[in-house]
Chain A
């Protein structure tokens, strides 16, 4: 490589990869680690893991979680980082190199990355919307708006709550069901454009700009979480929330769904099978200890989940406490007014005594008041995950904290950083394969190409800005971001362990890191991880196929409003769901078939016109790389890879 051009000023030559241009590389190891950690640590660590911890018996959930990490997460992570670093290409190039029949894996990864990037950035657009609104006093989700003649509040808001109203009506302007599309919401379009512009500016020169941006976006969330932790622990009721979260309930371990959720959570949390990790590690120097990197990234990701759940639950405990006190104060006011007892004579402390006394003197009157039963446990049980946690539950907690604007701003900037660093990985999983495949004409500079991808994604993602956008986002989240990934990961590990050959892989790793992987890695790569993935996938399909899929709609005209109106997906929507699950993975068999047909054609041609060299190099072995039409490596002979 020493005679080649030493052009290393970023990506100027990236599109034209002559053997001359060197692959872009990280400025230092810290950038690489932070980028991988940033990709792995995302919104799910903050709003999915605490929820799972809560519903699956607190501290007890950590056991299946750690087991899943050790036997499924870390092996897959190490494998992806190692092959990316060894073969120095994006996902499509890597799988093409291992075997041309597996090129479909890379295409599948690329498609999943693209589709996930679409809806993930929409969530970031929502975060931006809330961020823009956090600079007002009072916060707009604190009060209900007044009705037309200013005599009361809007019915929709009064029946639900100001926070719900702001989310469903002011932000989403949601339609009552998925079939009613509604118009494009211009404010969401603006926010989406801002989100894509922010992604573009960080991505504009590939890892050169990502590497700078990641110093902030990967570290800022930890800073905010620490601030929230300190603040949350001083709030009243925080300890209730923490006790509730971490009290282990060992009974839940008997429920198989807990193990399934732990396995899927680890898998999705580490962002495996997107191709982003492969792309990031392909920019590493080859002699790099990727075993240590994998362990660092995996453990930091899990520790972040646990660390994030502490302030989240402290704050949720505070909110539950506030709701509980509100409930009891409402009862107290009712009693005070009905019995004309002096103002503030009944307090939270002596409420029970008073209630008993009044019950004995005038039970019928007390009966007629229909007092609420206030139970702290019910309020603590009001769990939420996903957008519900961030935009409804947490925003309600924030308005009760003194200095709400500051906390709101900090929270939404944290969410945005978490999401942005994950978006880098998603886009990298799309961009690097396209560049490596030389599907980009060399006269288009990388900046323009990145811009085109962002523009295309923005245009397609406009469906999420419709009135029914939230319903579509849920569909994408459930059907694209789940099953295809499991399938891709399963094929990944099978192909590395059995098609590439575990011994050859061990040799590569020994060459890269200086020592062979130990028995733990061998056992997990060969048997344990594929087996676990297969079990998880089958269990997932079985559980999903059991019931006809439904969704929760927000319908103000519903009889039981504000409870969610549970509707079934119409046929055409369900067809789209299936299409979304199948489309990414169908490329795996399709590409294999295409190659096989190509091979057959070659074989037939060779019979008519034998190539004397074919026998010399390959001894009649048709699978030998020299004999196949090698457009896969874009003009580079496979031998060259062993030399570089």
Chain B
């Protein structure tokens, strides 16, 4: 009896190995970069971590295909390397020799990507599923672009400044206009003086004055 059990075990592992191989059509390669992500706090990759991976993936498959109860044994892993990369395939719980198709696996991984990442304290970049591009996070788009806010502030300040300066100029001018009647009297006296002077020198028609009349703004 023991021989039968032993034979069955060998057969199953042999079958499993046949199902999972590099470049399998329904499998994916996984690559982890633990040291890059965690630096000094990196954990060592061992069989327990692998067990967690298989369990997480089974969880993802359960989420994707409702009704089917995926177990850890349904996730078969092979070709482990020191890089920490390996291939995996997923077998159907109803028929262990049949693989779940690629698209479903991809969908499942995509849906639960965040959970898988956080189980290992990694990110999309450090836990890679070769062939499954990560869904990029949409950038936050606020209703009012922030630059318009800064623009509004600057323009508001400048506009206020211009109005203040113009208003103060108008006020200054009004004040000067009130003082002007006094100044105009002084002006008239000097003007009278110049007229007297030119009257004294008049005798011959002096062309240089007549030319300037066209251009002086007096």
Q: Give residues in A with beta carbon < 8 Å to B.
A: 3, 5, 7, 9-10, 12, 16, 18, 20, 128-129, 131-133, 135-136, 143, 145-146, 150-153, 190-191, 193-194, 197-198, 200-201, 204-205, 209, 336-337, 340-344, 438, 442, 445, 447, 611-613, 626, 629-631, 634-635
Contacts and interface: CB of A to CB of B under 8 A. Distances in A.
Nearest to B82: A342
B31 A337 contact: yes
Contact of B133 (A129, A133, A151): A151
Given A132-B147, A445-B169, A201 B162 contact: yes
27 contacts: A5-B183, A12-B172, A131-B150, A132-B148, A132-B151, A133-B146, A146-B138, A151-B133, A152-B133, A190-B151, A197-B158, A201-B162, A201-B165, A205-B165, A337-B85, A342-B84, A343-B33, A343-B34, A343-B36, A344-B36, A438-B217, A447-B166, A447-B169, A613-B206, A626-B208, A634-B216, A635-B218
B192 to A, nearest CB: 13
Contact of A197 (B84, B155, B166, B172): B155
Return the 5 tightest CB-CB contacts between A and B, nearest first: A340-B81, A635-B216, A340-B83, A132-B147, A344-B35
A128 B138 CA distance: 27
Contact of B165 (A129, A143, A209): A209
Contact of A146 (B136, B159, B190): B136
B211 to A, nearest CB: 6
Contacts of A629: 211
Interface in B133-189: 133, 135-136, 138-139, 146-148, 150-151, 154-155, 158-159, 161-162, 165-166, 169, 172-173, 176, 183, 187
Given A150-B135, A343-B33, A631-B214, A12 B166 contact: no
Q: Is the interface of A mostly helix, strand, loop or mixed?
A: loop
Contact of B161 (A201, A205, A438): A201
Nearest to B212: A635
Contacts of A128: 154
Interface of B: 31-36, 81-85, 133, 135-136, 138-139, 146-148, 150-151, 154-155, 158-159, 161-162, 165-166, 169, 172-173, 176, 183, 187, 190, 204, 206-208, 211-212, 214-218
Nearest to B84: A343
A505 B183 CA distance: 39
Contacts of A205: 165, 169
Contacts of A133: 146-147
Given A201-B158, A204-B165, 11 more contacts: A7-B176, A132-B150, A150-B138, A151-B135, A198-B154, A204-B162, A341-B83, A343-B84, A447-B165, A447-B166, A630-B211
Contact of B83 (A135, A191, A343): A343
Nearest to B83: A340
B212 A12 contact: no
Contact of B158 (A20, A198, A343): A198
A336 B139 CA distance: 31
Given A135-B150, A341-B83, A635-B216, A146 B139 contact: yes
A132 B149 CA distance: 8
Nearest to A626: B208
A206 B98 CA distance: 87
Contact of B154 (A143, A194, A336, A630): A194
Nearest to A446: B169
B214 to A, nearest CB: 7
A372 to B, nearest CB: 20
Contacts of A152: 133, 136
Nearest to A190: B151
Nearest to B79: A340
Contacts of A153: 136
Nearest to B211: A629
A634 B211 CA distance: 12
Contacts of B81: 340
A7 B180 CA distance: 11
A289 B176 CA distance: 35
B217 A194 contact: no
Contacts of A337: 31, 83, 85
A630 B138 contact: no
A213 to B, nearest CB: 11
A444 to B, nearest CB: 13
Contacts of A634: 215-217
Contacts of A340: 81-83, 85
Contact of A150 (B136, B147, B159, B187): B136
A129 B148 CA distance: 10
B176 A12 contact: yes
Given A197-B155, A343-B34, A630-B211, A12 B136 contact: no
A477 to B, nearest CB: 26
Contacts of B217: 16, 18, 438, 442, 634-635
Contacts of B218: 18, 635
Contacts of A342: 35, 82-84
A637 B146 CA distance: 59
A336 B165 contact: no
A194 B151 contact: yes
A133 B190 CA distance: 61
Contacts of A131: 150
B31 to A, nearest CB: 7
Given A190-B151, A343-B34, A635-B216, A336 B83 contact: yes
Nearest to A633: B215
B212 A143 contact: no
Contacts of B33: 343-344
Contacts of A150: 135-136, 138
Contacts of A626: 208
Nearest to A131: B150
Given A5-B183, A342-B84, A626-B208, A631 B161 contact: no
Contacts of B166: 204, 447
A445 B159 CA distance: 19
Nearest to B160: A201
Nearest to A198: B158
Contacts of B211: 629-630
Contacts of A438: 217
Contacts of A635: 212, 215-218
A150 B133 CA distance: 10
Given A194-B158, A344-B36, A612-B204, A631 B215 contact: yes
B162 A611 contact: no
Contacts of B85: 337, 340
B85 to A, nearest CB: 6
B139 A12 contact: no
B139 A145 contact: yes
B26 to A, nearest CB: 22
A349 to B, nearest CB: 15
A150 B136 CA distance: 6
A612 to B, nearest CB: 6
B151 A341 contact: no
